[in-house]
Structure 1
Amino acid sequence: MSKSTQGTAVVTGASAGLGRVYADRLARRGYDLILIARRGDRLAEIAAGIQAQYGVNVSTIAADLGKEADLESVASRLEADDSITLLVNNAGVSTVAPIGGTTRAQFDAMNDVNVNGMARLTYAVLPKFIARNAGTLVNIGSILGFAHLPGATIYSGTKGYVNHFTRGLQNEVAGTKVRVQLVAPSATATDIWELSGVPLENLNQEAVMSAEDCVDAALAGLDLGETVTLPSVEDATLWKQFEELSGKLFAAAQNRRPATRYA
């Protein structure tokens, strides 16, 4: 019998990196789990270990969220499961290359998984959370959703969508008991770097956070009630300043006349 006290948490991209750590930490907190990733064999191994250690129920779904049929199958399953109380949209794809050096398959994969997959699974659970006035959505964005670097144009664009989409949802659930958290890490030690074509050892190791530290910081931010968690940013006032400047820019744009510099 499950020892769950929190309902069921869904974690995508759960076979490695942040997803695997989230699975462990959420099981420790008393959640049953639904783990989703492409690598079914690794999922089964992780599930067995978590069940043995924490005594919660763990089910797995081997699926490629970049494939429409797989995505719809997963979404339908989540829509039908009323035990789900938390979703971590962690699955992501990255290719570090200029757009001219990116294949069409790589281009599509980043958009299909990072944008469409995240949005579709959000839509599968969030309306039910709102209807019952309870539930938590965690979307893993990126600091690159607020910035841009050479070779990361497509990835930054997809994470910009995640960041803004999640912030918009936060406005929609304001005043309810539904939680929506945006986590925006910087460089993190996961296998996404190798898959992106950039060996992890090529990075400045002083700027790379461990997956464990990143997830633990993200969950601490959730416990603190943060809507946006920047795991590696020490000065929290920087986010406040960023938000204030964004608001000023938006307010300044509400003008029917062209700026005088264009006269």
Structure 2
Amino acid sequence: MSKLPTALITGASSGIGATYAQRLARRGHALVLVARDHERLNKLAASLHDDTGVAVEVLPADLTNPTDLVGLETRLREDSDIEVLVNNAGIAQSGRFVEQTAQGIDRLIALNTTAPTRLAAAVAGRFAGSARGAIVNIGSVVGFAPEFGTAIYGATKAFVLFLSQGLHLELSPKGVYVQAVLPAATRTEIWERAGIDVNTLPEVMDVGELVDAALIGFDRRELITIPPLHVAERWEALEQARLSLLGDIRQAHAAQRYQLK
């Protein structure tokens, strides 16, 4: 039996990241777990190794810290055993746009957009050169739903979706698989950290169900996996409408409705 590639997971100490670690360990993948909480990472790593026997390495890092981010980029560029990158680390927006601070905005954008982009860039060349590898980006349905009222968080997740689609177009012909996973409300600690009582939400998905569905999409090599979307044709129709819109764009002149009579 061929050895499965090592998977590096960010935000791995809890929630979606920790559940990905559990599921991938059960499949036989060696793991590199990245998060700020060293103690929780060590406990998870020991548990996974005891349960599955796979090798689990812990890399404590704060991806909003430039030094930590550069160190992780170097590891991804140089470690040829790592062939799966799960860009999961992220934080939610607490409060409305007018309540945000400059520091909070910078941190949210740094973790939700800058870090996954730079980590994907760190592996893209190596993956493309070997014609294998997978990049999994955890987005959100909020990325196409400004009505939810989280302008900055939603914008970061729209970025993740667009980035994933762009990477797919560039990297899939070179043998690299890119997947964007778009959860809706999922029962994780992200809500508590944002000061939101998850029990006040009308519907919340169990994190295990979310990751299991995401991995089915991974095995099917889906580009966009939306576990809470029950009518898949809705997404397909949205994509067709987008492509039709592009077909109606004419760059040489403004549309007639914008021309002076």
State if a TM-score over 0.5 links the two structures.
yes
Contact 1:86 1:137 in 2 (8 A): yes
Quote the residue 1:102 is aligned against: 100
The aligned runs of 1:207-218 (5 Å cut-off) are: 207-218=203-214
Match of 2:215 among 212, 219, 222: 219
Quote the residue 2:78 is aligned against: 80
Query: Aligned Cα RMSD in Å?
Result: 1.4
Match of 1:51 among 37, 49, 53: 49
**TM-score normalized with structure 2 length:** 0.96
Q: Distance in 2 between matches of 1:64 and 1:158?
A: 18
Contact 1:4 1:30 in 2 (8 A): no
Quote the residue 1:127 is aligned against: 125
Mark the runs of 5 or more structure 1 residues left unpaired by the alignment: none
Deviation at 1:170, TM superposition (A): 0.4
Q: Could you say what secondary structure the match of 1:53 adopts?
A: helix
Task: State the AA in 2 paired with 1:185.
Answer: P
Q: Does 1:63 align with 2:61?
A: yes
- CA deviations on 1:108-143 (whole Å, 9 max, x unpaired) are 111000111001110111211100001111001111
Quote the residue 2:244 is aligned against: 248
Q: Distance in 2 between matches of 1:214 and 1:155?
A: 20
Quote the residue 2:138 is aligned against: 140
Quote the residue 2:233 is aligned against: 237
Q: Distance in 2 between matches of 1:152 and 1:42?
A: 29
Task: State the AA in 2 paired with 1:48.
Answer: A
Quote the residue 1:111 is aligned against: 109
How many equivalent residue pairs?
A: 259
Deviation at 1:202, TM superposition (A): 1.3
**TM-score normalized with structure 1 length:** 0.95
Match of 1:35 among 33, 37, 58: 33
- CA deviations on 1:26-77 (whole Å, 9 max, x unpaired) are 1111110000001010000000000011101000111110111111111112
Q: Distance in 1 between matches of 2:144 and 2:15?
A: 22
Contact 1:185 1:231 in 2 (8 A): yes
Q: Distance in 1 between matches of 2:185 and 2:194?
A: 13
Contact 1:97 1:151 in 2 (8 A): no
Deviation at 1:150, TM superposition (A): 5.1
Contact 1:66 1:112 in 2 (8 A): yes
Deviation at 1:237, TM superposition (A): 0.7
Q: Distance in 1 between matches of 2:2 and 2:143?
A: 35
Task: State the AA in 2 paired with 1:140.
Answer: I
Q: Distance in 1 between matches of 2:212 and 2:106?
A: 31
Q: Distance in 2 between matches of 1:16 and 1:254?
A: 48
Q: Distance in 1 between matches of 2:75 and 2:131?
A: 21
Per the alignment, do residues 222 and 62 of structure 1 end up closer, same or farther by CA in structure 2, a change over 3 Å counting? same
Deviation at 1:257, TM superposition (A): 2.0
Deviation at 1:173, TM superposition (A): 1.9
The aligned runs of 1:152-231 (5 Å cut-off) are: 152-204=150-202, 207-231=203-227
Q: Distance in 2 between matches of 1:236 and 1:176?
A: 27
Mark the runs of 5 or more structure 2 residues left unpaired by the alignment: none
